[in-house]
Each structure stands twice: as C-alpha cells, then as structure tokens.
Structure 1
Amino acid sequence: MAGKLDRFEKLINSLSTWLNWVAGVGLVTMLALIVADIIGAKLFKWPIPGGIEMVGFLGVVVATFAIAQTQFLHGHIEVEFVVTKLPKTAQKVISCLTYSLGMALFALLSWQSFEFGRTLQTSGEVSMTQEIPFYPLAYSMGFCCIVVFLVLLVQCIMTMIRAKK
C-alpha cells in the first residue's frame, strides 16, 4: 500500500511541477508581451494587437497552473493558531476535514470548468481582437482543478497514515 501511495505521490508531484513550469513560462511570456506592448505603443505608436487579451489569457494560465504545486509544497496560507493548541489526534482530524473540504471545492470547480468549457465550445465564443477560443482555457482550468484535488487527496491520506503511527 505504502509503495503504491509513494509512486502516486511522486506522479502527482511530477505533474504539479510540470504545471508549475507552464505557469512560469506563462508569467515570463506575460512580462515580455507587456514590455513589447509598452515599447511598441510609446516608441513606435504601434501596440501589439490583442496584447491585453493575450495577457488576460496568460493570467489564467499563470494562476490556475501554479495552484497544484503551491498546495503540494504547503505554500498556501494556513491559519492554525487555534489548531496547534489541540491534541495531535484532533489536529489530524481537522487536517483531514480541511483536505476533504478542499477536495469537494476543487471537484466542484473542475466539474463546473468542464461544463463551462463545453458551453463555450458549443457556442463558439472567442476573444474580440484575436478571435482566440475561450474553451481551451476553461478545460485547462478543469484539468488543473483535478490535479489539485489529487494533491489534496494524497495529503489527506498521508495525514491519516501518520495519525495511525
């Protein structure tokens, strides 16, 4: 059991790391695009057509693709000043409850992102200037939410295993 869980944890970590790299590339691309747009607009009176909407798309990529790795590294804010005063068993129960609520939230977000993506794909919704379809972003958000769900699942199981020891 522990061997399979360790392999699954490594797989989820690798996937989270890869998604984080995509977010990093998106962030650097956003920076380059904004700088090029400003230089083009101020020096040459020629901004990048659709630059603002491309930055918006990249913002979605940066925000959603980085969540799983941040959760895997416990990088999100945790308010635990009350929980640390409780016995270890109660702390583990509260941790599992918190992970379970997070899993429910990200399962719901994933489902709704895929539903929204299907709606956008069916309607043919595209951006105004570059006519970039919106639905791939909604689908990618749904996928990233699944990965966060899996990270939370692994963390919940690991917390329960540590509670038994």
Structure 2
Amino acid sequence: MIVATIRRIARLLEAASLALGALCLLYMVCVVGLNVLARIVFDATGTALNLMIPGAIEQVSYLLGIVALAGLTASLSHGMIAVDFLVARLPQRGQALVARFWFLVLLALALVLCWLFYEDMLATFARGEESQDLRIPMFLIYGLATLQSLALAVVALREMLISQGDHGEIA
C-alpha cells in the first residue's frame, strides 16, 4: 500500500517535472534565439536599435539548473542508463541489488540537495536577496530547486523500492 502510494505520487511528480522542464527549455530556446536575432539587428544598425531581452543570460542560467533537475527526475522512470559489462553478467537479483544501491545513493544526493536548497531559500528570504539584473527574489529560485530536488528524491525512492535492475538503454 505504501509502495503503491509512492508510485502514484512519483508518477505525478515525473509528469510535472517533464512539463516544467519542457516549458523552461522552450522558454530558454526562445530567449536565446530572440537574443541572437536582436544582436544581429543591433550590430546591423550600428548599435542604434537595441531589441535584446534584458537579463537574458540571467534568465537562462537560472532555468538551466531547473531543467537539469527536472530532466533527471523525469528520466528515471525507465531506470538508469548503465554501460557496464560486469553488472550485466550478474544474475537478475544481483543486478536488482546494484540498481537499488545506486538509487539509494541518488536518493541521498537528492535529499542533501533538497536540504541545501531549502536552507538557501530561507536565508535569501530573510536577507531579501534579489537577482542582479531582473530583481527576481532569490528565494523563489531556491524554492523551485528545493521542490525539484524533493521530486527527484521521491522518484529515486520509488525506483529504489521497485527496481529489478533493468537499464534504460534496454527498456
């Protein structure tokens, strides 16, 4: 029953992470693409017409971390990609134990990231820190990273509980 609940929650978090990652990636591509075109116009007009997006580098750099965490969370549903000849030679039970061990390590990493981002979120909220160019409250960025790390932890927990040692490149 607990595993079934974790599975349901993990599926929802994977779908949300996939949607968030896709939206952030689409936004990043649009910002970079428009800024490249705006730079061409800027150079062609001898710096007379500046259509570049303010804070574009800042936007893309903050979103890149979110995209990475969201992508990692969404990609775990088919197991980890493994390129090794040693584990593949183990019996199925041995492969499952190795896979579960690595998901345990990933769970620990995700929980540490969650804790660190949470601490940064509280600290930046208390200090009222904002991003350099756009004045975005930094606690929002750290809060989103905290939520993505928590989603990664839940999905890693599910995989640790149910993994049979199958690899992403075989599935």
TM-score by length of 2: 0.81
Contact 2:6 2:154 (C-alpha < 8 Å) held by counterparts: no
Match of 2:162 among 134, 142, 158: 158
Aligned to 1:69: 74
* Structure 1 residue 71: Cα displacement: 1.3
Q: Encode CA deviations 1:105-131: one digit per residue, 9 max, x unaligned.
A: 111111111011111222222122211
Aligned equivalents of 1:117, 1:55: Cα separation in 2? 20
Percentage identity across paired residues of the two chains: 21
Aligned to 2:124: 120
Match of 1:142 among 130, 142, 146: 146
* Structure 1 residue 28: Cα displacement: 0.9
Report how many residues are paired.
157
Q: Is 2:45 aligned against 1:40?
A: no
- Deviates most, 61-70 or 22-31: 61-70
Q: CA RMSD in A?
A: 1.9
Aligned to 2:26: 28
- The structure, 1 or 2, with the larger RCO (C-alpha pairs under 8 Å, 6+ apart) is 2
Contact 1:60 1:137 (C-alpha < 8 Å) held by counterparts: no
- Deviates most, 139-148 or 42-51: 42-51
Aligned to 1:13: 11
| Structure 1 counterpart of 2:148, one-letter code | C
Contact 1:103 1:152 (C-alpha < 8 Å) held by counterparts: yes
| Structure 1 counterpart of 2:149, one-letter code | C
Unaligned runs of 5+ in 2: 43-48, 165-171
* Structure 1 residue 7: Cα displacement: 4.5
TM-score by length of 1: 0.84
